[in-house]
Structure 1
């Protein structure tokens, strides 16, 4: 179920978060914030559902719906350009999240960090991440720190388990991960 090219990391937290479940290895703008903050699950859920509606209707599933007309393709291309330009403007005016390699499942996230975060196992925190490259907005997810360990290349891994997401957000998150996984498989097939 996982990406075949993903590096093998042997740590108990890795097994707890990613064994026997769908996971994706991606590079996304993301960061970890220590301490429990006011995470609004409904905002994250709505953003993930909206991304899903846009992506499911964009022509990624052409096999199911047939080919889009040339007019629809032009409109989608124009919208893509507008979103790209708006995204660049927002990133220029706001503090951007650092791009990080991460592994993501419905249970939690492993972030690859540079210096040690200093987070203590069992402590609460928030993962802030940008779930889509075309939309410069982020979601905040409540997490509990499982572990932190050196990665052997001068950086550190931080394993974070999702903490009380709620049914709606959990379903939206699983659907988003499924789309990411499906896209990774399609990209791998194209590059063969």
Structure 2
């Protein structure tokens, strides 16, 4: 498949989000028992992330009461601990390096870092991605390579469970909404 067909298959008529975040394709990990646990874990992480971010944004509107200073201090401390944990994980090499990632509920296009020649069309594995900047953890989505062009690879997700597909769609919508709000704020 050429890259134009891959773009149409993965991103045609669906919500797409693109940004720079820690992500990598790990060939060969899709059929391991750990990969099956990773799918359930990805669903749990995305669902928990949604609950956390919804709770954080509840105080953003004018019609909501201002959070107490004690709650703000607790949230600030948690943010500091998560930042420290994220730094430690990056130093250990547990997080993939930041790269340009374009993704939808169907798959992703990733700028491959390192040995791009190791990724071939048909290769199966997982897309490992840090879903939120403040969360020092990754989700792993089973996928296979459908196209490669230069240092870019197009990955189609293996069929996701309905719950995981729904959690991923909601997550991508929140990321897209934040990106639109940020671009409006900068104008």
Normalising by structure 2, what TM-score? 0.86
User: What is the alpha-carbon distance in structure 2 between the residues aligned to residue 64 and residue 124 of structure 1?
Assistant: 48
**Number of residues of Structure 1 aligned to a counterpart in Structure 2:** 178
CA change 1:55–1:122 in 2 (3 A) is same
More helix by share: 2
Instruction: Report the Cα distance in structure 1 between the residues aligned to 2:104 and 2:58, rounded to whole angstroms.
Output: 22
Structure 1 stretches of 5 or more lacking a match? 1-9, 151-155
The answer as to 2:75 corresponding to 1:68 is no
Q: Which aligned runs of 4 or more in structure 1 are off by greater than 4 angstroms?
A: none
Q: How does 1:44-63 map to 2 (within 5 A)?
A: 44-59=42-57, 62-63=60-61
Offset of residue 15 of structure 1: 1.1
Give the 3 Å change call, closer, same or farther, for CA 86–118 of structure 1 in structure 2.
Answer: closer
Q: Secondary structure at the match of 1:181?
A: helix
User: Any idea what SS the aligned residue of 2:154 has?
Assistant: strand
Query: Highest relative contact order (Cα 8 Å, sep 6+), 1 or 2?
Result: 2
**Distance apart, 1:85 and its partner CA:** 1.7
Secondary structure of residue in 2 paired with 1:97: coil
Give the TM-score, by structure 1 length.
0.84
Give the drift of 1:24.
Answer: 0.6
The answer to whether 1:42 aligns with 2:40 is: yes
